[in-house]
A = this chain, B = another copy of it.
Amino acid sequence: MKKLINAPDDVVTDALAGLAAAHPSLRLDAENKVVIRGDAPRPNKVGLVSGGGSGHEPLHGGFVGYGMLDAACAGEVFTSPVPDQMLAATQAVNGGAGVLHIVKNYTGDILNFQLAAELADDEGIEVVSVVVNDDVAVQDSLYTAGRRGVGATVFVEKIAGALAEEGASLADVAAVAREVNERSRSFGVALTSCTLPAVGKPSFELAESEIELGIGIHGEPGRERTTITTAHNLAGTVMDAIADDMPLSGDVLVMVNGMGGTPLMELYVMFAEVQRYIEGHGARVARNLVGNYITSLDMQGFSVTVTQLTDTLTRLWDAPVDTPGLRWGR
């Protein structure tokens, strides 16, 4: 295994220290592995907390800042954070208007965020949780009852964060977060496996020309293994899976996301194909993101997330944001 780390046990701590050092507007609770906005808690602003296993950077710590998350808790690589971390994050961002937990649908994350919400409630902090479950690939999965939460998490964090920044109530911020999730679908493809620092060898094996359709962000099995084909055909397969589940129409927000080891050049090739598919099916790509936003360590591959926009969602998407991973308009 060749990785830019000091030791497998230190990688999360060291990476968080680097993130905080590179972005002085963030504050790090190193003991609890929580990344916090420097100006948190903001009085009367709903606090947004997310988190999950590490190895998906920039998600979630890279999305802490103005217009997005107030705090993110980092678990070990591909491992849920514990309730104490989530509680510490919740306390740190509670400005009196309540706290929204944005939870990807993995069993450990669900259970631990639920416990953290109960502990926060005991302290008089109102918490509402929203579960993200946008992955159409499989119904249940290795670590998940129901659909997995993947790329839509980025959109939920951005759009709910923008509404919270405007001073909306906890109920309204939670409602828009749920709306984004309900209007979003994702599907991922792996070209290669990924290697966890603590394991030192690939999590699974793919043959020379083999790819996995419907891969999870932890390498959970997808729908099937098949042979690599053209970007055009891959876009067709991915978009058929998404459009079968949510017919395409109107304006959509699209992310072509890299899994961590795929060059940006290839993601742009995929974006051109995805856009062509969508516009050939009667919808319009009104907004987009192309790059590494929710990754799986060094995995090569990509995922596509499509969200049906409304005027309000578009306005909130366009609102200023200032985080390490997304930054514009401010």
Residues of A within 8 A of B (CB): 2-7, 11, 14-19, 21-22, 54-55, 57-58, 62, 191-192, 208-209, 211, 228, 230-232, 234, 260-273, 275, 285, 288, 290, 292, 295, 297-298, 300, 302, 322, 324, 327-330
Residues of B within 8 A of A18 (CB): 267-272, 275, 290
Interchain residue pairs with CB less than 8 A apart (9)? A2-B211, A5-B231, A6-B273, A14-B272, A15-B268, A16-B268, A21-B272, A62-B264, A328-B330
Residues of B within 8 A of A19 (CB): 268
Contact B22 A262 (CB under 8 A): no
Report Cα–Cα, A322/B329, bound state, in Å: 9
Contact A57 B261 (CB under 8 A): no
Residues of B within 8 A of A7 (CB): 230
Min CB distance A204 to B, Å, is: 15
- Closest chain B residue to A7, Cβ basis: B230
Contact A271 B230 (CB under 8 A): no
Residues of B within 8 A of A330 (CB): 328-329
Min CB distance A20 to B, Å, is: 9
Partner of A328, one of B191, B265, B292, B327: B327
Partner of A21, one of B17, B275, B302, B329: B275
8 new A-B contacts at CB < 8 Å, known A4-B302, A18-B275:
A2-B300, A4-B262, A5-B266, A14-B268, A15-B265, A15-B268, A55-B265, A322-B328
Q: A4-B231, A329-B330, A330-B329 are in contact. Are A263 and B55 (CB under 8 A)?
A: yes
Contact A231 B329 (CB under 8 A): no
Contact A11 B327 (CB under 8 A): no
Report Cα–Cα, A260/B269, bound state, in Å: 16
- Closest chain B residue to A233, Cβ basis: B6
Report Cα–Cα, A211/B1, bound state, in Å: 11
Residues of B within 8 A of A300 (CB): 2, 261, 298
Min CB distance A237 to B, Å, is: 12
Partner of A265, one of B2, B11, B288: B11
Contact A232 B265 (CB under 8 A): no
Report Cα–Cα, A22/B269, bound state, in Å: 11
Partner of A264, one of B6, B21, B295, B329: B295
Residues of B within 8 A of A231 (CB): 4-6, 14
Min CB distance A263 to B, Å, is: 5
Contact B21 A266 (CB under 8 A): no
Contact B230 A6 (CB under 8 A): yes
Contact B14 A269 (CB under 8 A): yes
Residues of B within 8 A of A288 (CB): 22
